[in-house]
Amino acid sequence: MVSELERLSRLGSPWASASLAYLSLWPSGPVGHDVERALTLCKGPAIQGNAYALFVLAYAHLLARDHTRAAKAMLKASELGFPPATLAITQFAWFGVGTRSQNIELAMLYLRKASKLGHKASLSWRCALYRTGRLGTARMFAGYALTPYAYLRYLFSAWMNPFSESVLVFDLHGMHPNLRAARSSC
């Protein structure tokens, strides 16, 4: 699969370049952890306004510790209507990435937008933010109560359509392999 993505990227496919860049950001990926490669692969498609490339570029900048560029790229991808970017802006605002400090109101605004765009992880993230207790005791209990449903809802959606933009999230910690080789039973 990676060799086909390489071929398509050389032919100018923005999604293939962004996919290779995405894989290069994962320490457990088949391409390896290479932030510079991700920046190079996404630069052209991002300039052309490809939302997926901007999303990946934002994470490459984040991993390169350039928080301002990361926030700008993610915001642009979100403005283009890319649900994973809108959900990621929630995380950026919550942790103060690209802003002077944590902005809870902005985080909640983008979380509502991500939900309206149909991102299936938005309820899980809402529960996680509620569980911090920073939004009040009632919401903290609601976060704990809704978490099992939220996770099951997301997992079911990801199982039904694993390549959908409505289930795409970036695991910054790279604790789960993004691709696994499997033997065919055929």
| Best CA proximity match to 171, nearest among 59, 81, 86, 71 | 59
The model's pLDDT over 102-115, given as tens digits with 9 standing for 90+, comes to 899 999 999 999 99
Range of the domain at 36: 11-80
Examine residue 146 and state whether it is found in any structural domain, yes or no. Answer: no
Distance CA 17, CA 44 (A): 9
Domain of 68: which CATH number? 1.25.40
Q: What is the pLDDT of residue 11?
A: 81
**Nearest residue to 119 (alpha-carbon basis) of 165, 52, 170:** 165
> Helices marked H in the chain — which ranges?
2-10, 14-24, 35-47, 51-63, 67-79, 83-95, 104-116, 122-131, 137-160
How confident is the model over 23-38, as a mean pLDDT? Answer: 76
Tell me whether residue 44 is in a domain.
yes
- pLDDT tens profile 40-93: 999 999 999 999 999 999 999 998 999 999 999 999 999 999 999 999 999 999
> Where does the pLDDT of residue 178 fall: very low under 50, low under 70, confident under 90, or very high at 90 and above?
very low
Q: In total, how many domains does the chain have?
A: 1
How far apart are the C-alpha atoms of 58 and 35, rounded to whole Å?
A: 11
Whether 114 maps to a domain, the answer reads no
User: Do the domain assignments include residue 86?
Assistant: no
Contact (Cβ atoms closer than 8 angstroms) between residue 139 and residue 147: no
Structural domain includes residue 6: no
pTM of the model: 0.84
For residue 21, name the pLDDT band (cuts at 50, 70, 90).
confident
30 in any annotated domain: yes
